[in-house]
């Protein structure tokens, strides 16, 4: 029989400094090994044989006599290799029916000592001092493992936050780039490239626009010449805000270039189309008539045309452009229907 007093005088296990250093290994001293082996059962595992799976309930702890065991803690966590004289599964002695935290697999032909809870209770009766020392190391290892895990999770959380931040920045940059590609810098409306994409989508979906308004500022060159390009830019921005207010989710307001704009409406008829044109005209007139109105508040001319499903865009545009030309010829500040 190994006495408790002898256990107290034994050298500390490998990896634990005599001064009580912080490095704790899952390894038994020769004296502990001899005592544990006397209450355990020997088992042999073939290479690659599974001892237990993650989530299985603990019933025993194990000591490696020869060979090696690999503990796999799951995706994203490093596996752990154990060799001769190492022990594992000791939580089974502390917490009854505790779920395993890893898979255990023999890396090669391996011999183990399995110690059940019944055997562990007998071991306590045999040498309680040595068991207390073993349990103190075990608890210290568990606490240390928890602290390391918390540190790893904290670092992974920081890395995840950094990755999400980078993803957010990349998404923001992508959206900003897309806006620059498909939106007009000055007015914020869609541009010609966006118009082309819109027409392609509507052609594929079969939901084509039914009405077209072609809008042009009256005497825009004179406005720039008399009041400067800043006044001209302000006039375009005011018009853009009005056009943006008349379109729905499936419609499109677009700056074609210079002072030329268009509005495409999907669900419309001749009456609704002319009412929309009159609303735009009235809004621009109200801006110009407002007391203290700036020079940028100008009138517009509008060419109005229904869009037949069989028309090509160029043909629909030509019809609206012809109506716009007629509105200009008649003095501007009006909407002109394409007469055909």
List residues with catalytic annotation: 259
Q: How many whole angstroms separate alpha carbon 313 and alpha carbon 192?
A: 13
- Token pair belonging to 202: 């509507």
Strand partners, 27: 86
- Alpha-carbon torsion 220, 225, 231, 234, what sign? positive
Read off the DSSP letter of residue 48. T
Place of tokens 């002109």: 336
Task: Report the 3 state secondary structure along the chain.
Answer: CCCHHHHHHCCCCCCCCCCCCCCCCCECCHHHHHHHHHHCEEEEECCCCEEECCCCECCEEEEEEECCEEEECCCCCCCEEECCCEEECCHHHHCCCCECCCEEEECCCEEEEEEEHHHHHHHHHHCHHHHHHHHHHHHHHHHHHHHHHHHHHHHHHHHHHHHHHHHHHHHHHHHHHHHHHHECCCCCCECHHHHHHHHHHHHHHCCCCCEEEEEEECCHHHHHHHHCHHHHHHHHHHHHHHHHHHCCCCCEEEEEECCEEEEEECCCCHHHHHHHHHHHHHHHHHHHHCCCCCCCCCCEEEEEEECCCCCCHHHHHHHHHHHHHHHHHCCCCCEEECCC
Contact predicate 259/216, CB 8 Å: yes
Q: How many whole angstroms separate alpha carbon 333 and alpha carbon 215?
A: 10
């Amino acid at each position: 029989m190994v006495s408790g007093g002898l256990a107290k005088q034994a050298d500390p296990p490998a990896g634990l400094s005599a001064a009580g250093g912080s490095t704790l290994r899952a390894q038994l001293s020769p004296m502990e090994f001899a005592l544990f082996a006397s209450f355990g059962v020997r088992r042999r595992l073939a290479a690659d044989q599974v001892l237990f799976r993650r989530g299985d309930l603990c019933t025993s702890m194990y000591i490696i006599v020869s060979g090696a065991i690999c503990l796999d803690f799951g995706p994203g966590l490093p596996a752990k290799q154990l060799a001769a004289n190492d022990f594992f599964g000791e939580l089974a002695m502390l917490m009854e029916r505790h779920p395993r935290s890893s898979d255990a697999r023999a890396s090669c032909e391996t011999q183990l000592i399995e110690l059940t809870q019944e055997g562990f209770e007998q071991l306590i009766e045999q040498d309680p001092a040595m068991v207390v020392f073993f349990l103190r190391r075990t608890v210290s290892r568990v606490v240390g493992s928890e602290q390391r895990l918390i540190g790893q999770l904290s670092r992974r959380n920081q890395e995840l936050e950094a990755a999400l931040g980078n993803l957010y920045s990349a998404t923001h940059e992508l959206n900003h780039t897309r806006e620059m590609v498909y939106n007009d810098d000055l007015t914020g409306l869609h541009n010609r490239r966006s118009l082309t994409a819109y027409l392609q989508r509507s052609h594929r979906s079969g939901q084509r626009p039914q009405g077209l308004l072609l809008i042009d500022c009256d005497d825009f060159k004179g406005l720039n010449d008399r009041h400067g390009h800043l006044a001209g830019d302000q006039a375009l921005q005011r018009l853009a805000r009005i056009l943006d207010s008349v379109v729905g989710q499936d419609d499109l307001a677009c700056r074609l270039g210079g002072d030329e704009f268009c509005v495409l409406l999907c669900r419309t008829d001749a009456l609704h189309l002319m009412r929309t044109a009159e609303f735009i005209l009235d809004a621009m007139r109200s801006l110009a008539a407002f007391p203290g109105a700036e020079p940028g508040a100008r009138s517009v001319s509008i060419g109005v045309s229904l869009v037949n499903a069989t028309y090509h865009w160029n043909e629909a545009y030509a019809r609206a452009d012809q109506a716009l030309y007629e509105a200009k010829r008649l003095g501007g500040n009006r909407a002109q229907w394409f007469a055909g």
